[in-house]
Structures are given as structure tokens and as C-alpha cells.
Copies of this chain bind each other. A is one copy, B any other.
Amino acid sequence: MSRDARPKAVVLLSGGLDSATALAIAAGRGYACHALSLEYGQRHHAELAAARRVAASLGAAEHKVITLDLTAIGGSALTDRRIAVPDQPGDGIPVTYVPARNTIFLSLALAWAEVLGAWDLFIGVNAVDYSGYPDCRPEYIQAFQRLSQLATRAGVEGGSFQVHAPLIEMSKAEIIQTGSRLGVDYALTVSCYSADAAGRACGHCDSCRLRAAGFAEAGIQDPTPYRD
């Protein structure tokens, strides 16, 4: 087998709609994509199963799942079962915010990139629909990129890491339109905070509503499998 001549990228892949689109964008830009998923104590495993399907369907060069038990830290509705996921968004930063999550995930992606000899990291954060999350803002992404140079042997030896957040200024509808053009099968992705084991969505949580509204606005039929 001949060596893959494409530059490598590490792509954070949750199994949701956004990160699937980020993976399709990275692949479309010609990177050999090394997808990284974290099993961090999410409420369900449907998301990780979705990540596996998405990585395969978009031709990822590799898909790695790392286990990191963030329930030991807690502090979020996603990592502490005593905190309920609300149906309605409230004011301020949502209870689904996981403390320092993107910093933890990007630092693992950075570690893997350094081992692979990759200079490009992709993360599907979005500052529009989820503007409440501090670690989804452009200034955060830029700060992490600067840190990457100082944090690593590769950076010190003169390489230059790029942290790509291609969805950061897109609306949900624009994300869906972009991914659809790039061949993302959104039926494979799971966004619902309380999907069942088969990955079927509840249809009424905050995340389901945003997703459904995105398909409606994009003028693309919603392929999400719903429970009822």
C-alpha cells in the first residue's frame, strides 16, 4: 500500500451534527483525517456509536476513542446525573456547559497531533447557536492556538499549529447546507441530549429543537430518527 501523501489533521468528533460537518470540511480540504472521540461519561453511548458511523462514512484515516471519566469532576448536566437537562434554554451559560471541556479535548487532540506529525486540529464549535459557551468563541480558539506553540516540542522546534473552527460563525442552517453539499449523512448523527440506545432523538430538548429548526431553515428534509 502506498503511503498517504495527504497532510494529516486531528478532528474532534462527538457524533453530533456539528463535528460531523467539521470532519467533512477537513476531508474536503484534502486532509487525511484522524478522528478523536472522548468517552467522558456522557449520558448515553449513542453519541459514540454515531461517531464511529460518521468516521467510517466520511472516510476518516483512523478513529480513536479515549476514555476520560469527567463524571469524577462533574459540574454539568452532561457529567452529573443529579443535574437535569432542561427542555427550555435559560439565561446565561447553559447547565450543559462542561467545565473546561474544549480545553481538555483540544489538549488531547494536540497531544495526538504531535505524535502523528499533524499541524492541523479541527473542532466543530459554533458561536452562534451556542453563544453561551465560553470555549466556543473565536478569541478562545485563538488563545488555544497560541498556547499550542508554547506547549509542545513540535511548536518549540519551529512548527506551527492551526486550530480550525470552520463552523464558528455559521448558523445551524448554514452548517447543514455545507455538510449536505459535502455528503454528510445527518441520519447517522445524534444531537439529542437524551437519545435512546438506538440513537433515536426525543424531539423536544434544547438540542433537538435547534437541530430541527436548522433543517427547516436550510430547506433540507430532517432525516433525524425520532422516538415518537
Q: Is A114 an interface residue (CB 8 A)?
A: yes
Q: How far is the CA of A211 from the CA of B82 in the complex (A)?
A: 46
- In whole Å, how far is A128's beta carbon from the nearest beta carbon of chain B? 17
Known interface pairs A100-B107, A107-B103; A64-B72 also in contact (CB < 8 Å): yes
**CB nearest neighbor in B for A101:** B111
Interface residues on A, range: 35 or more
Which of A51-59, A138-146, A196-204, A212-220 is near enough to bind chain B? A138-146
> How many of these chains are in the complex?
2
Q: Is A225 an interface residue (CB 8 A)?
A: no
- In whole Å, how far is A1's beta carbon from the nearest beta carbon of chain B? 22
- In whole Å, how far is A123's beta carbon from the nearest beta carbon of chain B? 13
Give A106-165 interface residues, CB cut-off 8 Å to B.
107-108, 110-112, 114-115, 134-135, 137, 139-140, 143-144, 146-147, 150-153, 155-156
Residues of A within 8 A of B (CB): 64, 66-70, 72-75, 93, 97-104, 107-108, 110-112, 114-115, 134-135, 137, 139-140, 143-144, 146-147, 150-153, 155-156
